Amino acid sequence: MSDGDKNGQDNREDALVPVEVWPELERAESLARGAALKWASGVFCRPEHLERLGQYRKRESQRTASIHSRLKSVVQSYLEGVDWGLGQLREARAELREVSHDLHKADLESRKNSEEVTTLETLREISVSHRQLLAAVSNLPRLYKVRSMVLETERLVESRRLLEAHARLMELERWQDEVLLQLQGPRGSSGTGFTSEDEELVRNYFSGVGRLVDALAKELWAVVGSGLSLACQNPTLFVSAVRIVEREEALDQMFLEERRSTSGQNTPMPPGRPRCWRDRFFKVMEEAVSARFRSVSYLHTRGPGLASHLSALQHCIMGDLSTVRHFLEQCVPSHYRLTRAYLQFCHQFLQNHLGLVSGWELEGGEIFAVLNWVLHIYNSSEMMGEPALVAELVIENMGPLISQEGLEQLQNKYVQKVRKSVSEWMHKALEVELTDWQRDQEPDIDHEGCYHTSLPTIIAQMLEENARVALMISEALRDQTIQMGLYEMENLLSRFRDAIIEFGKEHRRDSAINSNKFYLHYLLACINNCIILKTSTESLQQQLCSFPSNRYSRISLGPLAALDRAVRKACRLVMDHLLFELQPHLQELLSRTWLDQGEVTPNMCGVLERHCELYNRVRQPCRQRLKEECQWLTVVEYVRTLMQKRLVCRNGDERNQLAQRMTQDAQQLRDHLQSMEIDGTIGEVNPTVLIIALADIINLKDPNMLILEISGLVTKYPDISEEHVSVLLDVRGDVPKDVRKSVLDFMEQSAPPLPQGYRPIFTEILVPSSSIQFCLPTAKCT
């Protein structure tokens, strides 16, 4: 049938088939009609617009014709493509029919040939059997010699003729490999008839070879392990061992290369291969290093012998390294880098060994020995820092001997041990100090003429020595040690202050029975001790403050504050003792006897002079402070005695006599204190001037002028109260009620603030409360 007939038949068949209308086409047509209607209703909304209907119809007809032409061209190109594709499919179908026909022919030929190949199986089996028999006949002479060669090789190994023994061993292994290879047939062949039982039979026959390998390896590693001693005596054995190791390494590489070259076939490795004796060589060397160094004074490592043990390790390592560099390095190939390997073995051993030592319960000296050895000696020019060794090894690549965390733990242990020792020594020193206070002799005098005891010297030397020793390790450890020392000093000063307080209580308690006549001397020595300790503390703080980041500033203030508290307490006890000795004379002061005789003040000056002479044994600035406090105390107690109203004037003569005597006492006290090199002023107020000012108020002739004098007194001494002024008015004995009321009203209204730098004096003087008689009868109420 022609193509035209086929196409006509297809057209008729298409005409008989009902045309299917697509829903999408209907929807598109409906939308188009709606859009056209909407457009027309917008364009022709007025009758006059219908005049342009012909123009619109012509334009739309042209547009429709253009669209139809484009659609026809697209459909034509599409149909041409479909026609070309159908032609290609017809050609492919014809080619597939030809290929299928050729494959059918090839299948028929292969079936004929397979029937002929089965007739060759018998011939293949006969060939395999013949080859195995030929291998057995050719190897019979060697098989007869195997046992004798094994025995001869064993004798060579026992006599340490290692190279000859290894040569025989290699020959035996070659025979074994050849027998197995011949029995297995050529590589890639199958159906040889060689079974696992046959292979086991061969291996059992050559079992002596395996024993020889083990025996030779044992002797070989014994020689390598004793290489250091052999190098100085007879290095021949060591050289032989290295040559054997290199031979075995070459054989391993050869078999591995051969196996890689035949990776597509099943090629088994010879028995025991690869042996990796070069790796084993370095492993034995590492074990020998560990065994050798563990024997260096190992039994005496714990306790005081640790430093000696580390020193012995140093000498042993450096001696062995010298032997390796000058002897063993010449016995091995250059690529061994034996010196570098030996350094690594030593470093790894020391890492493990020092890790073990760090876990022990070490004392402070032992921890110092470990830290000093690890941080300074090991990396110094005496050990790994030697120029010849620096090129061989980079310590940073192998890590530190002790990790940073381990070093911090060791340093913390060291600080704790030193702290315990420092605390014990401080406790003992304080006990000795308390014993010295009870001696029946004055304290020691230094080159400056000041009292002191052994306490500050012991403490200062101990802390400075600990800081110096810690600095030999690192600045960080020095800082921790100083911090610890300052903390312990603060604790000591707290106990020291408590001891001073107890010393004062004991003296007051026993003063009436058996007074310690050197009580004041030792109080002054305590003040000097605190001054010396302050100098030592400031020196330690300067070492901390020399760094930009001072982490211990808060802790460093503790000892200074404790020193200040101890000094203040000692000075207070000194003043209490002065007051105790002045008390008998103060009892007679401002009384009728004193007014008539006036012998009290010279006696008080004698007490002050005796005390001020002892104050010269105190270091500055406390010396001047004590003298000023002595003057202040004297004036305060003098005014306090006046406030007790022991003497009330009855007339003007008594007021004049009292004022004159008070003025004489003030001048006498001032002259005497100035003769003892005591400055007359404290701040801006001279204490003795107060006595003269009070005397002027008592000696004032006109009571009406009192308010003016009192205002001047308040200006100089703004802390004076109404009670103090009231007592002064009572002592005068002639103040009218209205004047008293005016003065007290003035005092009540005036309350001037205390100027800066002013030291209150009347605040320390309490006015005794006046006893008021009860005016009602004491009979019971009915």
Cβ atoms < 10 Å from Cβ of 106? 9
User: Torsion over CA of 344, 348, 353 and 354, rounded to 10 degrees?
Assistant: 90
Burial class of residue 493 in the structure, from the number of CB atoms within 10 Å of its CB (0-12 exposed, 13-18 middle, 19+ buried): buried
- 289-330 per-position pLDDT tens digit: 888 877 664 545 665 678 888 888 888 888 888 888 888 888
Q: Which two tokens stand for residue 307?
A: 């430093």
Ramachandran quadrant class, 449 (left: phi over 0; alpha: psi -120 to 50; beta: rest): left
Q: Which two tokens stand for residue 308?
A: 């000696």
Over 90: is that where the pLDDT of 109 sits?
no
Region 340-347: mean pLDDT is 87
Rounded to whole angstroms, the Cα distance separating 155 from 184 reads 33
pLDDT in the model for residue 429:
92
Burial class of residue 328 in the structure, from the number of CB atoms within 10 Å of its CB (0-12 exposed, 13-18 middle, 19+ buried): buried
- CB of 194 closer than 8 Å to CB of 183: yes
- CB of 440 closer than 8 Å to CB of 514: no
Q: State the average pLDDT for the chain.
A: 81
Which of the given ranges, 267-271, 358-362, 484-488, has the highest pLDDT on average? 484-488
483 Cβ contact partners less than 8 Å away, ≥ 6 residues apart: 544, 552, 555
Over 50: is that where the pLDDT of 496 sits?
yes
Give SS3 for 594: helix
Long-range contacts of residues 311-317, Cβ cutoff 8 Å, at least 24 apart: 313/350, 314/373, 314/377, 314/382, 314/383, 316/292, 317/293, 317/346, 317/383
- 605-629 per-position pLDDT tens digit: 999 999 999 999 999 889 989 998 9
Region 66-93: mean pLDDT is 89
pLDDT band for position 141 (cuts 50, 70, 90): low
Rounded to whole angstroms, the Cα distance separating 679 from 629 reads 11
- CB of 238 closer than 8 Å to CB of 331: yes
Ramachandran quadrant class, 602 (left: phi over 0; alpha: psi -120 to 50; beta: rest): alpha
- 737-775 per-position pLDDT tens digit: 999 999 998 888 887 888 888 888 888 888 887 544 444
**72-76, 451-455, 673-677: least confidently modelled range:** 673-677
Region 239-246: mean pLDDT is 88
- CB of 100 closer than 8 Å to CB of 164: no
Give SS3 for 682: strand
| H/E segment holding residue 445 | strand 444-445
- CB of 349 closer than 8 Å to CB of 249: no
pLDDT in the model for residue 198:
64
- Sequential DSSP letters for 294-337: HTSSGGG-SGGGHHHHHHHHHHHHHHHHHHHHHTGGGGS-GGG-
pLDDT in the model for residue 300:
55
